[in-house]
Amino acid sequence: MQRVRLIVSMAHFRFYEELNDFLPSIQRKRVIDYRFGGAPAIKDPIEALGIPHTEVDLIIVNGQSVDFAHPLCDGDRVAVYPMFECFDITPLVKLRDRPLRRTAFILDVNLGKLARRLRMLGFDADYANSYNDREVVELSVKQHRIILTRDRRLLFHKAVTHGYWVRAVDPPRQLREVLARFDLYRQITPFHRCLECNGVVQEVPKEQVEADLEPLTRRYYDEFFRCGQCRKIYWKGSHFHRMCLEIEELRQGLTRISHEEFGP
């Protein structure tokens, strides 16, 4: 019987910036030789090497921009870049029908504290500790939301188009990471979202909510706000002032970054 010789091809991958977070230390910031058979779509080896497709925004093969369906060939030199938030790459081939700039999020079960902080800053951040992975993916696709997750495996789901793996563990650091990653500092509009349910909060006359207030709150406060969805009532008490201090620290951080990047 004649033996069939298996032809193995080789391509050369290089991943840039934070995409290296997904790679073993020995493969980071260096060319990776990838052996394969046939002509797989380039998305397959990228994910086989451990990079969720949602983290990729630009693929260059032999100097040309390609999409996820591009067939990988022997000898290809592939450069893979993460999401671009500060540069216009519109003339290049984009990998998604919709841009990643929509600032509506859905967060997995591990990021409840981050969800509250995003809502505090006015961002649309859907979260429920009852959501399972399937529901997170379905809502992301249906409502065009960016998935934020601590579980990188969630981002490998084929239906997911927009998602980000949050590296930080501490919630304040997570918030700064997401703000920087999606360039959101200048889009902060505090106190427009309900911290509990993500509904829109609007100012209401005191007489409309007076019957639901505690005696001391009724006595010392006159300005009130209410969520149009869950009907929770807010006022500018001690919690409000603490949140204002946290927001001011975030804005001071933006000022320091701007001075470092662009000078005084």
User: How is residue 67 written in tokens?
Assistant: 């999409």
- Number of domains composing the chain: 2
Quote the pLDDT of residue 261. 37
Shared domain check, 173 and 115: yes
SS3 159: coil
- Mean pLDDT per block of 10 residues along the chain (264 residues) reads 70 95 95 95 96 93 94 96 61 58 87 97 96 96 95 93 93 94 88 96 95 93 96 92 88 52 34
Quote the pLDDT of residue 183. 83
SS3 94: coil
User: Does residue 243 belong to any structural domain of this protein?
Assistant: no
User: Does residue 237 belong to any structural domain of this protein?
Assistant: no
Shared domain check, 78 and 110: no
User: Does residue 39 belong to any structural domain of this protein?
Assistant: yes
Quote the pLDDT of residue 53. 94
Element spanning 180, H or E: helix 171-181
Quote the pLDDT of residue 124. 97
User: Does residue 263 belong to any structural domain of this protein?
Assistant: no
Q: Of 165, 189, 213, which residue is a domain's last?
A: 189
Q: Of 132, 155, 189, which residue is a domain's last?
A: 189
DSSP state of 261: H
Shared domain check, 74 and 13: yes
Quote the pLDDT of residue 2. 60
Shared domain check, 121 and 44: no
> Residue 158: which domain range?
104-189
Q: Enumerate the H helices of the chain as residue ranges.
A: 43-48, 112-120, 133-143, 171-181, 206-209, 215-220, 238-262
236 contacts 179 by C-beta, under 8 angstroms: no
Q: What is the CATH number of the domain that holds 16?
A: 3.10.20.30
User: Does residue 160 belong to any structural domain of this protein?
Assistant: yes
Determine whether 134 is exposed, middle or buried from the number of CB atoms within 10 Å of its CB (0-12, 13-18, 19+): exposed
User: Does residue 147 belong to any structural domain of this protein?
Assistant: yes
Q: Of 82, 115, 132, which residue is a domain's last?
A: 82
Sign of the four-CA dihedral 99, 100, 102, 108 = positive
Q: Per the confidence metrics, is the pTM higher than 0.95?
A: no
225 contacts 213 by C-beta, under 8 angstroms: no
